[in-house]
């Protein structure tokens, strides 16, 4: 289960304060040390942890909660609020174009869940808004990627524009956009190629697609299971493409929490959705407050 270790350790860190009418400096120091270790062990970015612990400590001292009626509860509340803030405060909606189509470019490393998530998001918009999306298959390096997008399209009854693997991806996107225009699709998803790691050629190709398509949303898909690597990936893509949003996948797995808690703070870019399974319906809007409650258990 996601965050299991982190939840347990945070609860234990705060349990020591329970029942105390007054909390000593030493109690607070021990609690904060345990919170710090819990976050580091969950693979949260070092600077994020440092800032987090500092803020929680300052608030606890400043609010004089240590002398209050129920210090434990008050510290839990502060931790909850600061976890929420670290993840972005409130849900950030999808960017939409004033005139159709809204163009959503999906980027990310191979295996992160781009293709699956493009389908999930298209399906979400179809169900929610009666939208008529088109998906463009622009990953020409893996023939299986095109087949996979076509299969996803069939599953959710969304058309897929593809030109096989012999055409330049930028040209495929150009023609796909023309088709969307002709068919009055209200959303266009561009499923781009991924690599096992970030490389120059991939980034240049994505930059070319961005220049051509002027996407309303450049959605970075990252695998939550990869912790700090997910954060490094996010930074790499963001530096080159200035992404507009992040989707965190595989939160149904045994993820520790590092990616969810670090990405917003490190990149400044909001997590907009989370993937919680392999089915097309397994996509949720990301609510930082609900995620904080979930982490706290």
- Min. distance of Cβ 145 from ligand GDP in angstroms? 6
Please say which residue, 159 or 253, places its beta carbon nearer to ligand GDP: 253
Q: Is 193 assigned a ligand-binding role in the annotation? A: yes
- Min. distance of Cβ 168 from ligand GDP in angstroms? 20
Read off the tokens for 248.
Answer: 């965190």
Please say which residue, 65 or 209, places its beta carbon nearer to ligand GDP: 209
- Min. distance of Cβ 275 from ligand GDP in angstroms? 3
Report the residue from 8, 171, 254, 278 that binds ligand GDP according to the rule CB under 6 A. Answer: 278
- Min. distance of Cβ 8 from ligand GDP in angstroms? 22
Please say which residue, 31 or 117, places its beta carbon nearer to ligand GDP: 117
Read off the tokens for 45.
Answer: 């970015």
Comparing every residue's Cβ against ligand GDP, the nearest one is 275
The pairing of beta strand 283-285 with beta strand 271-275: antiparallel
Kindly list the distances between the CA atom of residue 33 and the CA atoms of 8, 65, 82, 262, in Å, as whole numbers in the listed order: 15, 18, 16, 19
Report the distance separating Cα 176 and Cα 146, nearest Å.
14
Q: 154: Cβ–Cβ under 8 A, 6 or more apart, which residues?
A: none
Binders of ligand GDP among residues 104 to 123 (CB under 6 A) are: 108, 110-116
Report the distance separating Cα 106 and Cα 188, nearest Å.
10
The beta strands (E) that lie in 124-198 are given as: 133-138, 160-161, 187-192
Is residue 194 part of the contact set for ligand GDP (CB under 6 A)? Answer: yes
Task: Return the axis-axis angle of helices 288-296 and 4-15, rounded to nearest 10°.
Answer: 70
Taking CB under 6 A as the binding criterion, the range among 10-18, 34-42, 90-98, 247-255 that sits at the site for ligand GDP is 247-255
Separate counts of helices (H) and strands (E) for the chain: 11, 8
Please say which residue, 92 or 193, places its beta carbon nearer to ligand GDP: 193
Binders of ligand GDP among residues 44 to 83 (CB under 6 A) are: none
Report the residue from 271, 276, 288, 295 that binds ligand GDP according to the rule CB under 6 A. Answer: 276
Please say which residue, 108 or 258, places its beta carbon nearer to ligand GDP: 108
Q: What share of the chain is helix, strand, coil (3-state, %, to 5)?
A: 55, 15, 30
* ω into 116 cis (within 30 of 0): no
Is residue 169 part of the contact set for ligand GDP (CB under 6 A)? Answer: no
Q: 116: Cβ–Cβ under 8 A, 6 or more apart, which residues?
A: 152, 249, 275, 278
Q: Is 251 assigned a ligand-binding role in the annotation? A: yes
- Min. distance of Cβ 218 from ligand GDP in angstroms? 15
CA 190 to chain centre: 18
The pairing of beta strand 102-107 with beta strand 217-223: parallel
Q: Is 250 assigned a ligand-binding role in the annotation? A: yes
Please say which residue, 71 or 215, places its beta carbon nearer to ligand GDP: 215
Q: Which helix (H) or strand (E) holds 134?
A: strand 133-138
The mark string for 209-228 relative to ligand GDP (x by CB under 6 A, - otherwise) is: ------------x-------
Q: Is 115 assigned a ligand-binding role in the annotation? A: yes
Annotated binding site: 108-115, 191-195, 249-252
Residues that bind ligand GDP (CB under 6 A): 108, 110-116, 148, 194, 221, 249-250, 252-253, 275-278, 282
Annotated binding site for GTP: 108-115, 191-195, 249-252
């Amino acid at each position: 289960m996601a965050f299991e270790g982190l939840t347990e350790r945070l609860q234990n860190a705060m349990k020591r304060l329970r029942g105390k009418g007054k909390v000593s400096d030493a109690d607070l120091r021990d609690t904060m040390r345990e919170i710090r270790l819990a976050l580091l062990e969950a693979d949260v970015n070092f600077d994020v942890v440092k800032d987090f612990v500092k803020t929680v400590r300052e608030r606890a001292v400043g609010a004089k909660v240590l002398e209050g009626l129920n210090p434990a509860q008050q510290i839990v509340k502060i931790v909850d609020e600061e976890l929420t803030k670290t993840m972005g405060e409130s849900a950030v909606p999808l960017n939409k174009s004033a005139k159709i189509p809204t163009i959503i470019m999906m980027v990310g490393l191979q295996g992160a869940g781009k293709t699956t998530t493009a389908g999930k998001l298209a399906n979400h918009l179809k169900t929610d808004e009666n939208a008529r999306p088109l998906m463009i298959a622009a990953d020409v390096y893996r023939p299986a990627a095109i087949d996979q997008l076509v299969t996803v399209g069939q599953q959710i009854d969304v058309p897929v524009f593809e030109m096989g693997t012999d055409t330049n991806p930028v040209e495929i996107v150009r023609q796909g956009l023309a088709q969307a225009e002709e068919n009055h699709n209200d959303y266009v998803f561009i499923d781009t190629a991924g690599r096992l790691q970030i490389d120059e050629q991939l980034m240049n190709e994505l930059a070319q697609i961005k220049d051509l398509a002027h996407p309303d949303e450049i959605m970075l898909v990252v695998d939550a299971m990869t912790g700090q690597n997910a954060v490094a990936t996010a930074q790499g893509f963001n530096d080159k493409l200035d992404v507009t949003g992040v989707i965190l996948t595989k939160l149904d797995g045994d993820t520790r929490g590092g990616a969810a808690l670090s990405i917003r703070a490190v990149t400044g870019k909001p997590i907009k959705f989370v993937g919680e399974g392999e089915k097309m319906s397994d996509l949720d809007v990301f609510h930082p407050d609900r995620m904080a409650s979930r982490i706290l258990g």
